[in-house]
Amino acid sequence: MDKFLTKFNCSQPSASTEANRSQLINELNLGSLEDDLGERVTIAEYNPRIRDKVRRHYIRTGPCQSLLKKFPTTQIGNRGRQFVSNWYKGPHSKWLEYSMKKDAAYCLCFYLFKNEFVYGNAGEFYTKNGFWGWNRALERFHLHVGGVNSVHDKCFKKMLDLSNHHQSIQVVLEKHSKKEKSDYHMHLEASIDVARLLLHHRLPFRGHDKSESSTNQGFFLGFLRWHGDKHPDVEK
């Protein structure tokens, strides 16, 4: 049977896979990220290791909601129709975007997470081409959103989860950083106080044996331990 089959080594990536990886954007420059979705690079074009950083940037900046005195007019039938800035308000406020370059509407959460739920060209309407038929626009937006567990709903929840996760980590890091700084200052002040005392009396810092079992670890550690006995925070 083996002579009719060509064995495939699964441990080795295919040439096409390697080529695709080599074409991905591997370095992130936040200053180069476009606000207008019509000019943005798709999430799939970034290396997986930096995609969440790109997503966080766009979540932090929010949807691109350009405000123009007069939006471009598209002739549909006998009427000229255009994008309406009031559509930014209400249930669409957190995801609806408008591209001035393409005169089209887009969905931010679809741009960020569509590839995790939709494969191929499905969903490109709201990610690549956008929505530009301004007649019955609100109805089209409603159909795009769909119900619970729709692709839009899943993408929107992913966007909220990433935002909340990032914020919670930042809060923890900030609190942790403040606590570390406070502890560091306390340790430093205690060490300086003991060092000043030894220098004032011209006493040596080191002892003969600084091990835990030693009875003569020197004046510096001895006074520092005495200082800790008087101040529980220093003792910790």
Output DSSP code: residue 27: S
Structure token pair of residue 137:
């626009």
pTM to 2 decimal places = 0.57
Where does residue 174 rank: exposed (0-12), middle (13-18), buried (19+ CB within 10 A)? exposed
pLDDT for 177 equals 67
Q: Write out the chain's pLDDT in tens, 236 residues.
A: 444 444 434 444 444 444 355 588 888 888 888 888 778 888 888 998 889 889 988 988 889 898 888 888 888 778 888 888 888 888 888 899 988 888 888 889 888 888 887 655 444 555 566 777 787 788 888 888 888 888 888 888 888 888 877 666 665 666 666 677 777 778 888 888 888 888 988 888 887 666 666 767 788 888 888 877 777 777 77
pLDDT for 19 equals 39
Q: Write down the domain spans for the chain.
A: 10-165, 181-235
Close Cβ partners of 191 (under 8 Å, ≥ 6 residues apart): 224
